Amino acid sequence: MASYRRAHASADSHSSDTGTAARNAPRGPHPRRASGLHARAAVAGLILAIAAAGCGAAGTTSPATLAPSTAPSVTTGTVQLTSAPAATASPKPAPTIASPEFAATGSLATARVDASATLLKNGRVLVAGGAPSTGGLAYDSAELYDPHSKTFLPASSMQEAASAHTATLLTSGRVLLAGGTVGPKTVEQTTQLLDPTTNKFQLGGAMAIYRLGQSATLLPDGRVLVAGGTSGLALLASAELYDPATDKFTGTGSMITARRDQTASLLPDGRVLVAGGTGTAGPLKSAEIYDPKTGKFKATASMESPRAGHTATVLNGGDVLIVGGSDKAPTAELYDSTMGKFATVGAMSVARTGQTATLLPNGEVLITGGWNQTGVLATAEIYGSVSRKFRSIGSMATARTNHTATLVLSSYVLIVGGSDGKAALASAELYGPVTGS
């Protein structure tokens, strides 16, 4: 059973035999019969003819013209060899590659919604915290998914219960859990770290402010940018930097707009794109760029549509795919990280919010679940980075939202937990295999 803790803060050929001598070749010169009356002359002619034949018609003597003979053939001293053309090797059939599909895998020991899922450097997936329902009393338990055995294993307990928190894989291999909630109307300030060498959690340095719905982004220098969210009393524009070397948070420049549930994407040049989220008047269109060199945020072009509960995926070329975030419009857009502008791309088959988006090895993006005005969704779609269009690929076994999706074994996507709209889910699924292009 899950354990609870109360809040302290709010991819024959063949050959022919050519060594056989030619058979049935024309016989050597045959002596002609004498036509005169003197036998000696006839015999002499016969002898001359035979001598000419035996010597191969040497000198200036012209060989006699002979009719074909029916006597047994004689093999001549010269053999002319002919080679049959080598046969072309039969091509081997191409290996059959299974089409990607959804399939069940091992289930969680505890049903969880709003849990975190982090791919560890050893290939396992840490699933931590969450709750039996959104906003419910948080768990302090964690589980590890082994992609080889396709099972979940128990992990050590967390130091503090947490749900809707952030989880960031540090360069050292440790995992930083920050903020979130421990129950109704509470917000966390504490952080905790999983050390994969000991498989144990320990408390980390506290943030300066209680945060729920914040973003957390690993910077190139190993620090973590934590921005926005809500303190439980107000939306936040402030941001902090976590330094793993000191296990401390320090302040940095604030965002232009206070927001929660925004996305924060690391761009190829090391800057961070913060987009959308919920502001004081609802979903936001605005976006900002954080530059770690200056420690400041500055405005960039706004999105085409206001979004909250959306996803942001950095594509192989460096552009950022923004998907969903509306229960009414199935729109998506692409942020050009060079030009600093958003542009609308092909629409999804249905509107979604609370879905997952996972970059696949072939450069496409898998979109799963979420919800809209019709309810919680089981359907899934693929975004083609070349066509810039979405295509439907069928459905998961279970409709789910607020779940997690993690690429494992470089070819499968592990989909875990979430909610079916009524209760948290313990089931998990694998989508794949997906190979690189």
Q: pLDDT tens, 328-370?
A: 999 999 999 999 999 999 999 999 999 999 999 999 999 999 9
Band (405; pLDDT cuts 50, 70, 90): very high
Q: How far, in Å, are 76, 260, 263, 306, 349 from residue 310 at the CA level?
A: 90, 12, 8, 10, 16
Q: Residue 437's pLDDT is what?
A: 61
Q: Please check the confidence at residue 45 and state whether its pLDDT lies above 70.
A: no
Residues with Cβ within 8 Å of residue 414, at least 6 apart in sequence: 105, 117, 125, 145, 147, 404, 405, 406, 407, 408, 428, 429, 430
Q: Please check the confidence at residue 12 and state whether its pLDDT lies above 50.
A: no
Band (99; pLDDT cuts 50, 70, 90): confident
Share of the chain above pLDDT 70, in %: 77
Band (20; pLDDT cuts 50, 70, 90): very low
Q: Which of 86-95, 115-124, 223-232, 275-284 has the lowest mean pLDDT?
A: 86-95
**DSSP tag of 410:** T
Check if the beta carbon of residue 217 is closer than 8 Å to that of residue 224: yes
Q: Residue 72's pLDDT is what?
A: 37
Question: What residues pair up with 232 in beta bridges, in sequence order?
Answer: none
Higher-pLDDT residue of 52, 315 = 315
Q: Can you state the percent helix, strand and coil of the chain, rounding each to 5? A: 5, 35, 60
Check if the beta carbon of residue 142 is closer than 8 Å to that of residue 158: yes
For the stretch 119-156, pLDDT in tens is 999 999 999 999 999 989 999 999 999 999 999 999 99
